[in-house]
């Protein structure tokens, strides 16, 4: 057994957008997530973060590449294999309003997974488990009979977390679980996720675009741009010693609640817009907006290389080619 | 300001109290039924419909006359103790005819609406949920079926099977599902991309489970409203078919036919039109009230 929970090799997910055009949402991503750690995945809107998460969760069929889950290849799964996979990997969704069926009570939402997998032998056992899960995510027993729309956003997200935990998974994809919430509630949910990770020994893929939150929760951070991974490193290194020009630009945009620091800080502004992911040009994805770009950057896409132990960068300039 | 501790005391909080506050565990269907019972207007509709159904069964036995007996001496008699709703132009007792007509009208309407909706929901659901080439194929086939006028179907069917109740129901079933299918397809297309459906897939739910547990309850409001609209529509269409002579043939009757016959002598004997018209209207009103109530009851967001 390797120490990796998930390993993704050259994963590609293209969407057909008609007239022979392809939207390359995820274009050759390779990464791994160690057991028990949190990998933060950051990037701009539309860079393919969610698509990557959903492809790992098997909501999308990958166009190409391989996904290993606990050393098992899950790229192609039978119905039975998929059922087993769902017991080990779950997802927390971005929008707590859309992700709960408003025609179901909190109790039946949480117990749906248990019903599908026929985990509980009796009604009372199922009831107990629901109460246990509600308690675990900081809700009360009496919430079980209420309908989803009777809860606030933060409470709904807690129900979503309880639903994901119902099957005792080891790996959870958190798809921007806090971006739809109020700032004060964001902290609660983040702390809940950290608490649960400690108690249940969970592994997270934490997708977000808020770099401060990612810094708080992640062990390692991966930066994505236009469907490709630009840089992966441990959390400390990521913030102190970014190597990729895109990461530098991203980090310079973090607001710091100290006017002196903000005044002294030099903001790196990227010129132009994000190119369209439909039929992208060859070469480095970031080349069109990169200050360091050389002609070679427009010809060949850089590979993700380990420049320091545990620090991977996909840039011709950094890896010295 | 100093707080005076003597003025405050701790109240023990127990979970038992909280449970009493929220009541026992309820399923979605129980909760919907409970809310429907609370809705007085909808229950009024239910009571009227039940009464109509009971009268359709026992009404013809209550009068002294048979619905088909011609009495040429007592034609066009106004309502009286002898003939409760009067008689028509050949002296047939309208009380008996109204309830015989109720049997036919309610039966045709109910069967037609249920058959139409079932076919529509299944075809629309398959088309929308599975999507892709199957969806394109089904929707184009639907367009072709829809492009042929309803009357052509009726004429072909009556040529093949003669006139009567069954051919009319067949004609309804053959064409009436299209509206429902389009509606359900649209709903299915919209619902299948919802996060909660994706989440259920992620929990390992089968397609069947997703359709039954998530798609159908969420579409039910739309389906029920359409269904309650289809019933009066069927009553009317039957009346109009009878009018042009390819519906039911006398002495078998229906509310539509009675209204049609009554409209011909409207100036001299208005009761012959008013009586069946009132029954048609009351039935439709009750169905609409029930449909509205059901839509509200099935949507927990409207729970008070």
CB contact (8 A) between residue A93 and residue B303: no
Assign A27 a pLDDT band (cuts: 50, 70, 90). Answer: confident
What is the distance in angstroms between the Cα of B300 and the nearest Cα belonging to chain A? 6
Q: Number of folded domains in chain B? A: 1
Helix H or strand E segment including B204: none
Whether B119 contacts B181, CB under 8 Å: yes
Q: Please enumerate in sequence order all residues whose Cβ is within 8 A of that of B280, keeping only pairs 6 or more positions apart, or say none.
A: B105, B232, B235, B255, B256, B259
B297 has pLDDT over 70: yes
Lowest mean pLDDT among A25-34, A176-185, B20-29: B20-29
| pLDDT exceeds cutoff 60 at B25 | no
Largest CA distance in chain A: 68
Give, in order, the Cα–Cα distances in Å from A278 to each of A12, A23, A270, A272, B166.
14, 4, 21, 17, 56
pLDDT band at A1 (very low <50, low <70, confident <90, very high): low
Of A178, A176, A169, A235, the closest CA to residue A202 belongs to A169
Q: Which of A51, A81, A103 to mutate to probe the B interface, most B CBs <10 Å?
A: A103
Give chain B positions within 8 Å (CB) of A167: 203
Per-residue pLDDT band for B14 (boundaries 50, 70, 90) equals low
User: A221: pLDDT confidence band, cut at 50, 70 and 90?
Assistant: very high
pLDDT value at residue B277: 85
Give the least confident one: A29-43, A255-269, B223-237, B270-284. Answer: A255-269
Does position B120 have pLDDT exceeding 70, yes or no?
Answer: yes
Percent of chain A with pLDDT over 70: 98
**Is the pLDDT score of B254 beyond 70?**
yes
What per-residue confidence (pLDDT) applies to B281? 85
Average pLDDT in the B122-131 region? 87
List the one residue out of B127, B137, B136 whose CA is nearest residue B192. Answer: B127
CA distance A26 to chain B (A): 19
The CATH number given to whatever domain includes residue B81 is 1.10.3720.10
Chain B contact for A108 (CB, 8 A cutoff): yes
List C-alpha distances in Å: B172 to B168, B230, B238: 6, 10, 9
pLDDT > 60? residue B22: no
User: Is the confidence at residue A120, as pLDDT, over 90?
Assistant: no
Residues of B in contact with A108 (CB under 8 A): 27-28
Chain B contact for A186 (CB, 8 A cutoff): no
Q: Is A40 on the interface with B (CB under 8 A)?
A: no
In angstroms, what separates the C-alpha of A178 from chain B's closest C-alpha?
A: 15
Q: How confident is the model at residue B289 (pLDDT cuts 50, 70, 90)?
A: confident
| Neighbouring residues of B132: CB distance < 8 A, sequence distance ≥ 6 | none
Mean pLDDT of A131-149: 87
* Domains present along chain A, CATH in parentheses: 4-102+171-178+204-316 (3.40.50.300)
Name the residue in chain A with its Cα closest to that of B196.
A99
Q: Decide which of B251 and B115 is more confident.
A: B115
CB-closest option in B22, B199, B202 to A142? B22
What is the gyration radius of the CA atoms in chain A, in angstroms? Answer: 21
| Angle subtended by helix axes B165-191 and B132-147, to nearest 10 | 140
Preceding omega of B251 cis (within 30 degrees of 0): yes
Query: Token match 């290194």: residue?
Result: A237
A230 touches B at CB < 8 Å: no
Range(s) of the domain holding residue B287: 28-302
pLDDT number for residue B23: 53
Residues with Cβ within 8 Å of A269's Cβ and at least 6 positions away in sequence, in order, are A249
Which tens digit of pLDDT belongs to each residue from A260-296?
Answer: 777 777 777 777 777 788 877 788 888 888 888 888 8
For the segment A77-100, the average pLDDT, to the nearest whole number, is 89
Q: In whole numbers, what is the pLDDT of chain A averaged over residues?
A: 86
Residues of B near A (Cβ–Cβ under 8 Å) read: 15, 18-19, 21-28, 194-196, 198-206, 209, 213-214, 217-218, 298-301, 303
- Under 8 Å between Cβ of B104 and B111: no
**pLDDT at residue A91 in the model:** 92
B304 pLDDT more than 70: no
Name, in order, each residue with C-beta under 8 angstroms of A260's C-beta and a sequence gap of 6 or more: none
Cβ-based neighbour number of residue B12 at 10 Å: 5
Residue A33: what pLDDT?
A: 92
Q: Which residues of B touch A99 (CB under 8 A)?
A: 195-196, 198-199
Alpha-carbon gap, residue A143 to A131, rounded angstroms = 9
**Would you state the pLDDT for residue B217?**
84
Q: pTM of this prediction? A: 0.78
Stated length of chain A: 321
Confidence (pLDDT) at B253: 80
| Position B19 pLDDT exceeds 70 | no
What does the pLDDT read at residue A174?
92
- Residue B49 inside a domain? The answer is yes
- Find the angle CA(B185)-CA(B225)-CA(B168) to the nearest 5 degrees: 85
Alpha-carbon span A271 to A289, nearest angstrom: 6
**Could you give the CA distance from residue B80 to residue B73 in angstroms, rounded to a whole number?**
16
Which runs of E-coded beta strand occur in B210-296? none
User: In the structure, what pLDDT confidence band is assigned to residue B176 with cuts at 50, 70 and 90?
Assistant: confident
- Average pLDDT of A96-108? 87
> What percentage of chain B reaches a pLDDT higher than 70?
86
- Element (H or E) spanning B260, and its range? helix B255-264
- Spatial contact of A249 and A315, defined as CB atoms under 8 Å apart: no
Write a three-state SS string for chain A: CCCEEEEEEEEEEEEECCCCCEEEEEEEEEEEEECCCEEEEECCCCCCHHHHHHHHCCCCCCCEEEEEECCEECCCCCHHHHHHHHHHEEEECCCCCCCCCCCCEHHHHHHHHHHHCCCCCCHHHHHHHHHHHHHHCCCCHHHHHCEHHHCCHHHHHHHHHHHHHCCCCCEEEEECCCCCCCHHHHHHHHHHHHHHHHHHCCEEEEEECCHHHHHHHCCEEEEEECCEEEEEEEHHHHHHCCCCHHHHHHHHCCCCCCHHHHHHCCCCCCCCCCCCCECCCCCCCCHHHCCCCCHHHHCCCCCCEEEECCEEECCHHHHCC
In a domain, B10, yes or no: no
A183 burial level (CB within 10 Å; 0-12, 13-18, 19+): exposed
Cα dist from A215 to A220, A251, B172, B260, whole Å: 9, 11, 64, 78
Mean pLDDT of chain B: 80
- A59 and chain B: CB distance < 8 Å anywhere? yes
With bands split at pLDDT 50, 70 and 90, how would you rate the model's confidence at B3? Answer: low
A132 touches chain B (CB under 8 A): no
Task: Average the pLDDT over A20-30 and give the result.
Answer: 86
Q: Is the dihedral of CA A106, A109, A113, A116 positive or negative?
A: positive
- For A108, the closest chain B residue by CA position comes to B27
Per the domain annotation, does B19 fall within a domain? Answer: no
What pLDDT is stored for residue B26 in this prediction? 63
Residues A279, A280, A286: CA angle, nearest 5 degrees: 165
The arithmetic mean of pLDDT across residues B79-104, rounded, is 77
Residue B141, number of CB atoms within 10 A of its CB: 12
- What is the per-residue pLDDT for A38? 93
Nearest CA in chain B to A98: B195
Chain B residues touching residue A162 (CB < 8 angstroms): none
Averaged pLDDT, B40-60: 86
| Alpha-carbon span A18 to A36, nearest angstrom | 41
Q: What is the mean pLDDT of residues A213-232?
A: 90
pLDDT for residue A207 is more than 80: yes
Does residue B286 sit within a domain? yes
pLDDT digits (tens, 9 = 90+) for A75-86: 888 888 899 899
| pLDDT at residue A37, as a whole number | 92
pLDDT digits (tens, 9 = 90+) for B226-246: 888 788 788 878 877 876 767
pLDDT at B302: 63
Instruction: Please count the residue pairs, one from chain A and one from chain B, whose beta carbons lie less than 8 angstroms apart.
Output: 92
Residues B219, B225, B226: CA angle, nearest 5 degrees = 90
B196/A98 Cβ within 8 A? yes
B15, B194, B195 member nearest A141 (Cβ): B15
Is A59's CB within 8 Å of B15's CB? no
Q: How far is A317 from chain B (nearest CA, A)?
A: 41
């Amino acid at each position: 057994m390797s120490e990796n929970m998930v390993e993704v090799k050259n994963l590609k997910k293209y969407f057909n957008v008609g007239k022979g055009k392809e939207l390359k949402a995820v274009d050759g991503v390779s990464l791994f997530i160690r057991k028990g750690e949190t990998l933060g995945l950051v990037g701009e809107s539309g860079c393919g973060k969610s698509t990557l998460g959903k492809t790992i969760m098997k909501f999308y069929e990958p166009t190409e590449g391989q996904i290993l889950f606990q050393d098992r290849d899950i790229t192609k799964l039978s119905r039975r294999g998929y059922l087993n996979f769902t017991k080990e990997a779950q997802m927390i969704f971005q929008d707590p309003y859309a992700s709960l069926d408003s025609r179901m009570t909190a109790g039946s939402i949480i117990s749906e997974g248990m019903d599908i997998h026929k985990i509980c032998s009796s009604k009372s056992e199922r009831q107990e488990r629901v109460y246990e899960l509600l308690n675990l995510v900081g809700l009360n027993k009496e919430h079980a009979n209420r309908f989803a729309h009777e809860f606030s956003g933060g409470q709904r997200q807690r129900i979503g977390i309880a639903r994901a935990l119902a099957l005792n998974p080891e790996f959870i994809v958190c798809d921007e679980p806090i971006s739809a919430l109020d700032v004060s509630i964001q902290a609660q949910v983040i702390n809940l996720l950290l608490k649960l990770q400690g108690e249940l020994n969970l592994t997270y893929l934490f997708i977000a675009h808020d770099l401060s939150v990612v810094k708080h929760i992640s062990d390692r951070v991966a930066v994505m741009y236009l469907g490709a991974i630009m840089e992966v490193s441990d959390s400390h290194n990521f913030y102190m010693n970014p190597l990729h020009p895109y990461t530098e630009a991203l980090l310079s945009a973090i607001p710091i609640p100290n006017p002196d620091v903000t005044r002294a800080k030099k903001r790196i502004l990227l010129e132009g817009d994000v190119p369209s992911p439909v039929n992208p040009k060859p070469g480095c994805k970031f080349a069109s907006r990169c200050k360091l770009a050389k002609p070679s950057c427009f010809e060949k896409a850089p590979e993700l290389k380990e420049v320091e132990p545990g620090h991977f960068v996909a840039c011709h300039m950094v890896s010295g080619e | 300001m100093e707080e005076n501790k003597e003025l405050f005391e701790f109240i023990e909080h127990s979970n038992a109290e909280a449970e009493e506050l929220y009541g026992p565990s309820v399923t979605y269907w129980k909760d919907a039924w409970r809310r429907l019972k609370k809705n007085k207007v909808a229950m009024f509709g239910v009571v009227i419909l039940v009464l109509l159904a009971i009268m359709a069964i026992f009404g013809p036995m209550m009068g002294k006359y048979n619905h088909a007996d011609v009495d040429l001496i007592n034609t066009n008699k106004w309502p009286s103790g002898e003939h409760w709703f009067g008689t028509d132009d050949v002296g047939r007792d309208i009380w008996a005819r109204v309830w015989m007509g109720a049997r036919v009208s309610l039966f045709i309407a109910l069967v037609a609406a249920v058959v139409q909706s079932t076919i529509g929901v299944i075809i629309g659901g398959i088309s929308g949920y599975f999507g892709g080439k199957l969806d394109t194929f089904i929707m184009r086939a639907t367009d072709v079926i829809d492009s042929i006028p309803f009357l052509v179907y009726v004429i072909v069917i009556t040529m093949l099977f003669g006139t009567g109740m069954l051919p009319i129901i067949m004609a309804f079933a053959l064409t009436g599902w299209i509206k429902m299918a389009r509606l359900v397809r649209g709903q299915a297309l919209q619902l299948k991309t919802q996060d909660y459906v994706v989440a259920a897939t992620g929990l390992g739910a089968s397609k069947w489970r997703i359709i039954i547990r998530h798609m159908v309850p969420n579409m039910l409001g739309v389906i029920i409203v359409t269904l309650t609209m289809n019933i009066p529509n069927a009553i009317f269409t039957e009346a109009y078919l009878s009018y042009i002579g390819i519906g039911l043939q006398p002495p078998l009757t229906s509310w539509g036919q009675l209204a049609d016959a009554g409209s011909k002598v409207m100036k001299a004997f208005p009761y012959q039109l008013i009586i069946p018209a009132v029954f048609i209207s009351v039935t439709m009103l009750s169905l609409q009230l029930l449909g509205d109530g059901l839509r509200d009851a099935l949507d927990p967001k409207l729970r008070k």
